[in-house]
Structure 1
Amino acid sequence: MHDGGDDGGYDGGPVAALRRIGFLLERGREDTFKVKAFRGAAAAILPLPEDELRARADEGTLTDLPGVGSSSAKVIVSALRGELPQRLADLEAEHGGPLTEGGASVRAAMRGDLHSHSDWSDGGSPIEEMAFTAIELGHDYQVLTDHSPRLRIANGLSADRLRRQLGVVDAVNEHLAGSGFTLLKGIEVDILDDGSLDQHDELLERLDVRVASVHSKLAMEERAMTRRMVAAVRNPLTNVLGHCTGRMVTGSRGTRQQSQFDAAAVFRACAETGTAVEINSRPERRDPPSDLLALARDLGCLFSIDSDAHAPGQLDFIAYGAERAEAAGIEPERIVNTWPLERLLEWAHPKG
């Protein structure tokens, strides 16, 4: 059973190889069932002693393990032999290069990401896997922002579930103590029809960072949508205005027109309150559009370049946002996630 990718050595081990394959598949926006196959295999072999893995590889019984299929077994065998698995070599060639041509200086200045999801809401991976990948990408911090209760289709967190999640974040940070990385407590909270936020204030106050986004009634009449968004932006608990137009420009979910609102009024409110306008880096969103991004820049807004990642490999999407910010002439100093952790937390502390 030989699956060597080239004549070079590989010393990452089988779990690392399977995780990297999953990461690259996500980064390349490949089918999720492929991702789950390799991530499932990594989870299946993680607790096993290397001696047992090697014995199974020699006997050809790796696929007897629940979660290990023929493709992942080939990867395991190659990695155990110190060979670069062919599947990994192919994916590195296809998806491992730079995602963008521009934005390198902005990307290099970024210290973290303020918008990411786990399998507690509509993400595909555990909190720990998202944190480990953020560390591997060189982040100093990552904000976990699962959805709020109203977004039932995304398994939004009730108050009780959010309280439990805060304990999990504490446990993850305790485990990662000394790593130089901090997982921050956050939420992507729905902006309700009247501009209020979809979670109890006492819980929102316990969080480090709050991203507020419109997910419903996106075709609301322009004046009503403007009032709704301005009210949310002026809420002292709001730190980031997420994907402000709600548009979809491509992708498996189809396209969607952007919401209509008085962008100048909304962005002036952001500038006055210090609320950051999110540059949402998902390729299917590219939100805000270029004309509104320029308007927010000219009105003096702060920005947050966020991946809105729903899987570990998508954390790299912030490169797309960095490219857009650089093209728009937005100085890194105005991008809050270029700031050190202490400054970020001071800025994000509820105002008022």
Structure 2
Amino acid sequence: MDPLWALRQVALRLERAGEPTYRVRAFRRAADVVEALPLGELERRVEAGTLTDLPGIGKSTAGVITDALAGREPSYLGKFREPDPVGGRVLRAALKGDCHTHSDWSDGGSPIREMAEAARDLGHSWVVLTDHSPRLTVANGLSADRLRRQLEVVAELNVELAPFTVLTGIEVDVLDDGALDQREDLLAQLDVVVASVHSKLRMPAPEMTARMVAAVSNPHVDVLGHCTGRLVTGKGRPESTFDAVEVFAACVENDTAVEVNSRPERRDPPGRLLRLAVDMGCTFAIDSDAHAPGQLDWVAYGCERAEECGVTPDRVINTLDAAALLSRGNIGD
């Protein structure tokens, strides 16, 4: 087993399991150290027992390297191997991209390139970069100037990564009155806009309904993100209350996809609302909402839930290739 692959695979699995960032970084740092070593030095150090003399190599990372070189599966790989979802395999195989991801430009933990390369390695042909908008200061949301700089970075990266494509986007905050937290002229330049409510989640249902309808009716919005805002792990957070029939009807009328958010702590929308959206004729985006490379494969969980609720591949926008996605409805307008 390639020790470099093993170290990076452990990092990905730690991320997917939601382990602390410092543990993930330890394995990525060790992988960088191993990659920089002269040919044959790694094997010599394993034989001499001097791996941990290298900066960035500790007991755990040395154990992974030693096991890999000996042809044994490192225990870390087995410990953090999660069972694949039983269902959703047809949907998962059909996905060509992910409409909701974050980088270290906002509250993600990895550079854009790492997120893009990880998405490519999963078999996707495109990924949308949707860092947060400015009002979400706790998530280092992008000002107009920072968003413009990010667009330049993405353009350069796409030249290097072609034919894989990083589509430009944003997870834009829905303000209290349903307006969007970014300049209209900039939203118009983006490939995909995900609109999400992050504040005043306990707003009374009539006001929340009007707020969400206004957002999904905005011609720049392509996807309604994690519509109830609920959290189902830890202390949890209850769902926002709103008239789902009215909101989903507005999504259908405006060709705005309802997101199936795959994060384990969100699982949003809940099953009853997802089934309602199916019955009402909504389209969907099955997204990871990944904040690290190892979380990109969380889309498998969303695919399982979507299949259980009757979502078929022809109603999922991220089963399209990039060109078809950009030519669809209001996307890319």
Instruction: Tell me, yes or no, if the aligned pair for 1:208 and 1:349 is still in contact at 8 Å.
Output: no
**C-alpha distance in 2, partners of 1:75/1:168?**
35
What SS class does the counterpart of residue 122 from structure 1 fall into?
A: coil
State the shift of 1:42 in Å: 1.8
Would you say 1:150 and 2:139 are equivalent positions? no
**C-alpha distance in 1, partners of 2:166/2:58?**
33
Instruction: Tell me, yes or no, if the aligned pair for 1:236 and 1:351 is still in contact at 8 Å.
Output: no
- Cα–Cα, structure 1 residues 335 and 42, in superposed 2: closer, same or farther, change >3 Å? same
In the TM superposition, what are the counterparts of 1:1-352 in structure 2 within 5 Å?
10=1, 12=2, 14-79=3-68, 81=69, 83-91=71-79, 94-98=80-84, 100-177=85-162, 180-251=163-234, 254-347=235-328, 349=330
Opposite residue 295 of structure 2, the aligned amino acid is: Q
**C-alpha distance in 2, partners of 1:198/1:60?**
55
State the shift of 1:137 in Å: 0.9
Q: Deviations over 1:271-327 (max 9, x none)?
A: 001000001111111111111111111111110000111111111111111111111
**C-alpha distance in 1, partners of 2:273/2:33?**
47
Instruction: Tell me, yes or no, if the aligned pair for 1:17 and 1:88 is still in contact at 8 Å.
Output: no
**C-alpha distance in 1, partners of 2:313/2:198?**
28
Normalised by the length of structure 1, the TM-score is 0.89
**C-alpha distance in 2, partners of 1:299/1:139?**
29
- Cα–Cα, structure 1 residues 44 and 349, in superposed 2: closer, same or farther, change >3 Å? farther
**C-alpha distance in 2, partners of 1:152/1:45?**
37
- Cα–Cα, structure 1 residues 164 and 351, in superposed 2: closer, same or farther, change >3 Å? closer
State the shift of 1:61 in Å: 4.1
Contiguous gaps of at least 5 residues in structure 2: none
- Cα–Cα, structure 1 residues 333 and 171, in superposed 2: closer, same or farther, change >3 Å? same
Instruction: Tell me, yes or no, if the aligned pair for 1:205 and 1:350 is still in contact at 8 Å.
Output: no
State the shift of 1:27 in Å: 1.9
State the shift of 1:96 in Å: 4.9
What SS class does the counterpart of residue 95 from structure 1 fall into?
A: coil
State the shift of 1:82 in Å: 5.7
- Cα–Cα, structure 1 residues 82 and 171, in superposed 2: closer, same or farther, change >3 Å? farther
- Cα–Cα, structure 1 residues 35 and 267, in superposed 2: closer, same or farther, change >3 Å? same
1:7 matched to which residue of 2? none
What SS class does the counterpart of residue 327 from structure 2 fall into?
A: helix
Aligned residues: 333
State the percentage of identical aligned residues: 59
Instruction: Tell me, yes or no, if the aligned pair for 2:188 and 2:332 is still in contact at 8 Å.
Output: no
**C-alpha distance in 1, partners of 2:150/2:48?**
42
State the shift of 1:183 in Å: 1.4
State the shift of 1:15 in Å: 2.2
Contiguous gaps of at least 5 residues in structure 1: 1-9
With 322-331 and 81-90 compared, the bigger mean Cα shift is at 81-90
State the shift of 1:233 in Å: 0.5
Q: Deviations over 1:50-70 (max 9, x none)?
A: 344445445544434432222
**C-alpha distance in 2, partners of 1:46/1:200?**
43
**C-alpha distance in 1, partners of 2:106/2:329?**
23
**C-alpha distance in 2, partners of 1:217/1:89?**
41
**C-alpha distance in 2, partners of 1:129/1:293?**
32
Q: Deviations over 1:56-114 (max 9, x none)?
A: 445544434432222112323444x36245235424xx51541x111111111111111
With 307-316 and 59-68 compared, the bigger mean Cα shift is at 59-68
**C-alpha distance in 1, partners of 2:174/2:74?**
47
**C-alpha distance in 1, partners of 2:41/2:60?**
19
What SS class does the counterpart of residue 24 from structure 2 fall into?
A: helix
State the shift of 1:351 in Å: 8.0
